[in-house]
Amino acid sequence: MQGIENLDRALREVGELLRDWRQRRRLTQRELAATAGISGQLLGAIETGRELPSREAILCLAERLEVPLRHRNIMLVAGGYAAVFPQRYLGDPELAGIWHMVEEMVRNHAPFPALALDQRWRIVASNDVLRRLIRSVDPALLSTPINWARVVLHPAGLAPRIANLAEWRAYVLNRLRRHFEQNADAVVADLLEEIGDYPAPASSNPVTSDGVAIPLSLMTVDGPLTFYGATTVFGSAVDVTLAELTVETFYPATVETAAIMRRQAALPSAVD
């Protein structure tokens, strides 16, 4: 009896998970079945809990749905199979080489700011330049773990210093929204709701950038600083933690910004 109950649970859970991710990706059963090379009838049986997919079928369907590695493991375990993708902590010796590379990328981006973020936008690495830019924000926002979205958009964070706050706020919220749609992380959903409740800037309609990307424009005592951001992800990662890691680098959008940043880097007080 216990074995039958476990099988019924596996059938139901795997089917529900696959249906949820298919709907999240806005695909019909026919479309997913075609890309996965299975019949629509079989996919329908899997989603309704009448057929338990094999380990290989789960991985194939999850791949076609671009399900994050963390959730692929959840699907496998729900189906009664062992998780495939390891999840190591950043200090694990197995990740030492990659983590050293990440730290080097962040550190060597000076004299411009750079940081690395985990799945929930928590800062896991940053260079001295970034730390100088944010050290004036409310200390409560700088307690570990530091959340980059809060630091940027909280009224006690960088928000009052961002010249194009309406534009940047819309960019961050849209990016967080896409991130949640892709990863279905409840903590990110809560973060999105929290930030959406922050006081909106005077301009309720964000101005569309005239350039090729949305800049981050900061007002500082040394003058205005304008940066373009770039995001690096580890697309070939098979480790959950590494797959969820992003490196954010900022580049000067103006000659004046580059000159100010290089001048600051040359000052003895530039290193904390």
Residue 145, CA distances (Å) to 69, 92, 148, 247, 260 in order: 23, 19, 10, 16, 29
Residue in 202, 181, 201 with CA at minimum distance from that of residue 192: 181
pLDDT (tens digit, 0 to 9) for every residue of the chain, 272 residues total? Answer: 445 456 567 678 999 999 999 999 999 999 999 999 999 999 999 999 999 999 999 999 999 999 999 999 999 999 999 999 999 988 899 999 999 999 999 999 999 999 999 999 999 999 999 999 999 999 999 999 999 999 999 999 999 999 999 999 999 999 999 999 999 999 999 999 999 999 988 754 444 445 578 999 999 999 999 999 999 998 888 999 999 999 999 999 999 999 999 999 888 754 44
> In the prediction, which pLDDT does 128 show?
96
> In the prediction, which pLDDT does 251 show?
97
> In the prediction, which pLDDT does 269 show?
59
Model-level pTM? 0.86
Q: Which CATH architecture has domain 93-270?
A: 2-Layer Sandwich (3.30)
What span, in angstroms and rounded, lies between the C-alpha atoms of 119 and 242? 10
Domain ranges of the chain: 2-78, 93-270
Helix, strand, coil share (%) of the chain residues, nearest 5 = 50, 10, 35
> In the prediction, which pLDDT does 170 show?
94
Specify the fold of 2-78.
434 Repressor (Amino-terminal Domain) (1.10.260)
